[in-house]
């Protein structure tokens, strides 16, 4: 049978647009259905990019207001124009989403503007913003529809008082008091933005520590530092109710284990308790695509779903909801569709929280190794003993290397420090190459640089003999 396209991708986020481009590079005829007015998905429009732009802008502001400049004898004062800050962020988003449109043109990927839904496994209907429908046939279809914000039972996100990350990226003014529900990645990043700009920020986290899936040493250090920065943090605390008032809200919280309730008055509530796959209206039940117990599309290692010719990647399938994970899956899946051998090593996916200091991890945490009964060695090195960090007056945090007790193979690297997000790439590459702690310890690192702390932590893990502590 002749099809309109070799591949139709539904969703143009980092998973979908990358898969479309890679498939086109392989010579396939490709279309991508996207209902948003711009390409790039959550990541470019309302996720990674705008949040990092505001984190950067608010860091600049805090360089002055936080006294860092004064430390260096630089007297300065700062005033914020929130509107101008948001506009500059929007400009960055526009440039990047426009860039994807150019890449589609360059690679001859057809953008089918509208909402896609399966009529049959190889037949997709596209409904445009004006309600007009068209149908295309595809030899292969790729589900890359991403995720949407989750809420708590009984709490409605109204976009004004109770907001999601999307509205937190465009607040018209600095809130007096922002209550963040969920002390994970979004809560801490966007909470940091608005705290730096002058809001009082209270984070309510259900578990007994922030970022509960990260290595516990990182969580503890991060909590200490964020508290020092002025963030109020309530762990082991649950939200019983959010009462929306004429102006603002009252958040009723109580200890997670039960106990006396407490009311917190605030003007804005940020809901950041996680995201869930977005598969609404796709018609997956009609074509028989299998989902797992958490509503994620079930796939094999090759990203094939339970229906032949239908594939899935990114936030819509299991695994961490991260843009780079979606991108790598997009490349691997397109390779598989083209008859090549595309794989993703899900054991080596770095993750970064872009607070200041940043927090970055790759591989197993100490808690995971203990639970799995793996014998391991740990080497830790503080930035306090790293010459560049010391020279920059930027000594918060440490590097921790976990290595197999017998083979010395690196099993996990966990970093909290101003450049952690950049440094973790070296650790991921070392792990991808099957490095031992000794390999990192014997690699010559430029001096004076923050990555020397990784070398010293590897020395500590390898034979317990770092030089500078």
- Give the interface with ligand NAD as residue ranges (CB under 6 A): 152, 181-187, 189, 204-207, 212, 238-239, 272-275, 320-322, 351-354
> Measured from the CB atom, is 10 or 360 closer to ligand FAD?
10
Which of 26, 177, 301, 447 is an active site residue?
A: 447
Q: Which does 12 bind (CB under 5 to 8 A by kind): ligand NAD, ligand FAD, none?
A: ligand FAD
> Measured from the CB atom, is 13 or 417 closer to ligand FAD?
13
Q: How far is the CB of 244 from ligand NAD (least distance, A)?
A: 17
Q: How far is the CB of 15 from ligand FAD (least distance, A)?
A: 3
41 binds ligand FAD (CB under 6 A): yes
Q: How far is the CB of 148 from ligand NAD (least distance, A)?
A: 10
175 binds ligand FAD (CB under 6 A): no
For 100, residues 6+ apart whose C-beta sits below 8 A from its C-beta are 12, 17, 39, 40, 44
Subset of 257-316 contacting ligand FAD (CB under 6 A): 278, 282, 314-316
Q: Which does 324 bind (CB under 5 to 8 A by kind): ligand FAD, ligand NAD, none?
A: ligand FAD
For ligand FAD, how many residues bind (rule: CB under 6 A)?
35
Q: How far is the CB of 380 from ligand NAD (least distance, A)?
A: 23
Q: Which does 207 bind (CB under 5 to 8 A by kind): ligand NAD, ligand FAD, none?
A: ligand NAD
10 binds ligand FAD (CB under 6 A): yes
414 is catalytic: no
Q: Considering only residues 24, 138, 323, 410, which one is a binding residue for ligand FAD as defined by CB under 6 A?
A: 323
Q: Which does 33 bind (CB under 5 to 8 A by kind): ligand NAD, ligand FAD, none?
A: ligand FAD
Q: Which does 350 bind (CB under 5 to 8 A by kind): ligand FAD, ligand NAD, none?
A: none
> Measured from the CB atom, is 136 or 353 closer to ligand NAD?
353
Catalytic residues: 447
Interacting residues with ligand FAD (CB under 6 A): 10-16, 33-36, 41-43, 47-48, 51, 115-116, 144-147, 165, 186, 278, 282, 314-316, 321-324, 326
């Amino acid at each position: 049978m002749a099809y309109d396209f070799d591949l139709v991708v539904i969703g143009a986020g980092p998973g979908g647009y990358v898969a479309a481009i890679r498939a086109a590079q392989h010579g396939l005829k490709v279309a991508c259905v996207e209902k948003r007015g711009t390409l790039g998905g959550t990541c470019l429009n309302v996720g990674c990019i705008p949040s990092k732009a505001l984190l950067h802008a608010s860091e600049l502001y805090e360089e002055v207001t936080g006294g860092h400049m004064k430390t260096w004898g630089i007297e300065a004062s700062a005033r914020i124009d929130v509107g101008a800050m948001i506009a500059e962020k929007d400009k960055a988003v526009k440039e990047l989403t426009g860039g994807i449109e150019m890449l589609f043109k360059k690679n001859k990927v057809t953008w089918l503007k509208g909402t896609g839904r399966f009529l049959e496994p190889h037949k997709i209907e596209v409904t445009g913003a004006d309600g007009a429908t068209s149908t295309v046939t595809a030899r292969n279809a790729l589900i890359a529809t991403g995720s949407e914000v989750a809420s708590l039972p009984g709490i409605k996100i109204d976009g004004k008082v109770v907001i999601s990350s999307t509205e937190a990226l465009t607040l018209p003014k600095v809130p007096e008091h922002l209550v963040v529900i969920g002390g994970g990645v979004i809560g801490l990043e966007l909470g940091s933005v608005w705290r730096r700009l002058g809001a009082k920020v209270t984070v309510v986290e259900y578990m007994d520590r922030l970022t509960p899936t990260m290595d516990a040493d990182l969580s503890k250090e991060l909590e200490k530092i964020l508290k020092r920065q002025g963030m109020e943090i309530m762990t082991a605390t649950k939200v019983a109710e959010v009462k929306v008032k004429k102006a603002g809200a009252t958040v009723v919280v109580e200890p997670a284990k039960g106990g006396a309730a407490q009311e917190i008055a605030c003007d804005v509530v940020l809901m950041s308790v996680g995201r869930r796959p977005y598969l609404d209206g796709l018609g997956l039940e009609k074509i028989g695509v299998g989902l797992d117990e958490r509503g994620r599309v079930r796939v094999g290692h090759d990203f094939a779903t339970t229906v032949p010719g239908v594939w899935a990647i990114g936030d819509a399938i299991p695994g961490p909801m991260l843009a780079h994970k979606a991108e790598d899956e997009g490349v691997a899946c397109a390779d598989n569709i083209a008859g090549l051998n595309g794989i993703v090593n899900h054991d080596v996916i770095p993750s970064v929280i872009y607070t200041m200091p940043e927090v970055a991890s790759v591989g197993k945490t100490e808690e995971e190794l203990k639970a799995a009964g793996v014998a391991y060695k740990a080497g830790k090195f503080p930035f306090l003993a790293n010459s560049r960090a010391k020279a920059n007056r930027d000594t918060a945090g440490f590097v921790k290397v976990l290595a197999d007790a017998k083979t010395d193979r690196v099993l996990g690297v966990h970093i909290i420090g101003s450049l952690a997000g950049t440094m973790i790439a070296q650790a991921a590459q070392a792990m991808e190459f099957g490095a031992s702690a000794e390999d990192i310890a014997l690699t010559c690192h430029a001096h004076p640089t923050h990555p020397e702390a990784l070398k010293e932590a590897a020395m500590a893990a390898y034979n317990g003999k770092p030089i500078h502590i």
